[in-house]
Amino acid sequence: MPRIVETIVMTMNATGEAHIAPLGLIEEGDAWVIAPFRPSRTLDNLRQVPFAVASHTDDVRVFSGCLTGRKTWPTRPAEKVTGVVLDSAVSHWELAVDGISEDDVRPRFTCRVVHTVSHRPWQGFNRAQSAVLECAVLVSRLKMLPPEKIEAELKYLEIAISKTAGPREEEAWGWLMERVEAWRGEPKLRA
């Protein structure tokens, strides 16, 4: 399996509007592949403006926020490419699209790292931060995964939250749980 790094990807459209989305970047030699499922604003933007900024952040509220409609996070301009960097980034990569591999489901944008910046030392991840990240992935797939699987995974992830969450992780978890509660109230389609 390739290495996949979970990052916050910022892209821009032709009119200069920035878009934020959590995405797993796939390592491919010296390159990183961005693989958005269709339809996706990130995908549309990468076709219009072939640059992206991948911000590595330990503030998991950004992952949770993006999945729950809270997409306004402080940013500043990137240094070498058209785009913006998350202010809370511990480090970031500025990426240029070198090639596109078309696919009906999930096109792949192969990106070259143009510039890497380290802003402060990485302080490590605790279990609650990992649990928020995993829960954000679950929330992004609520309509695709079997409900039993979602409930079982939430039960496990809650343990890490109850044992190790600080205020940021509590807030991030709370936003995701609001989304989960809404999903619990929806009728489920069964095969």
Ligand X SMILES: Cc1cc2nc3c(=O)[nH]c(=O)nc-3n(C[C@H](O)[C@H](O)[C@H](O)COP(=O)(O)O)c2cc1C
Residues that bind ligand X (CB under 6 A): 6, 21-24, 35-37, 40-42, 63, 67, 133, 136-137, 140
Choice between 79 and 126, CB closer to ligand X: 126
Choice between 79 and 156, CB closer to ligand X: 156
Choice between 22 and 83, CB closer to ligand X: 22
**Is residue 3 classed exposed, middle or buried when 0-12, 13-18 and 19+ CB atoms within 10 A define those classes?**
exposed
Preceding omega of 39 cis (within 30 degrees of 0): yes
Residue 24, CA distances (Å) to 162, 171, 173, 180 in order: 26, 22, 20, 22
Q: For residue 86, what is the DSSP state?
A: E
Choice between 136 and 154, CB closer to ligand X: 136
Tell me the closest approach of the beta carbon of residue 74 to ligand X, in angstroms. Answer: 19
Tell me the closest approach of the beta carbon of residue 66 to ligand X, in angstroms. Answer: 6
> 8, 34, 4: which is closest to 21 by C-alpha?
8
Tell me the closest approach of the beta carbon of residue 40 to ligand X, in angstroms. Answer: 4
**Which helix or strand (DSSP H or E) is residue 114 part of?**
strand 108-118
Tell me the closest approach of the beta carbon of residue 140 to ligand X, in angstroms. Answer: 4
Tell me the closest approach of the beta carbon of residue 159 to ligand X, in angstroms. Answer: 20
Tell me the closest approach of the beta carbon of residue 175 to ligand X, in angstroms. Answer: 12
Choice between 78 and 179, CB closer to ligand X: 179
Q: For residue 82, what is the DSSP state?
A: S
For residues 39 and 84, is the Cβ–Cβ distance under 8 A?
no
Choice between 42 and 110, CB closer to ligand X: 42
Kindly calculate the radius of gyration of the chain based on its CA atoms and give it in whole angstroms: 17
Residue facing ligand X at closest CB distance: 42
Instruction: Look at the chain and count its residues.
Output: 191
